[in-house]
Amino acid sequence: MLDGLLLLLLFQFLGEMLVTLTGLPIPGPVAGMVLLLIALTARSNVLQRIAPAANLLISNLVLLFFPIGVGIVLEWERYEAYGLALFMSVVVGTIVAMILVALLLKWLLRHNVA
């Protein structure tokens, strides 16, 4: 499992390096996820190495979001002026994402894409 976690961190680092060296206008972790996706499609053994670490991270995802909640509570006076806009963007963003996922699922099920 440790090698899987190190692989995940390596891809994040590679994404950061790619963004830093090329000046791409995307976050480094996103570039790392794209590199990881390429590696997963190119080599099947990568999935077997990172699966235990990824499953552990997913099962403890709440712990990864907890610091964000604490930060928002502690810095609430910064966000207070934009509270309604933040609330609306989160609610509308969630609804739009749910609709898009439902439509994509319907399309995939209709076309038997596996």
pLDDT in tens, 81-101: 888 888 899 899 999 999 999
Percent share of the chain, pLDDT over 90: 53
How would residue 26 be classed by pLDDT, with cut points 50, 70 and 90? very high
The mean pLDDT value for 53-61 works out to 90
pLDDT value of position 113: 64
Q: Over the Cα atoms of the chain, what is R_g?
A: 18
Give the tokens for residue 44.
């099947």
Dist. CA 29–CA 55, nearest whole Å: 18
DSSP 33: H
pLDDT higher than 80, residue 37: yes
Please tell me the distance from the alpha carbon of residue 24 to that of residue 31, in angstroms, as a whole number: 9
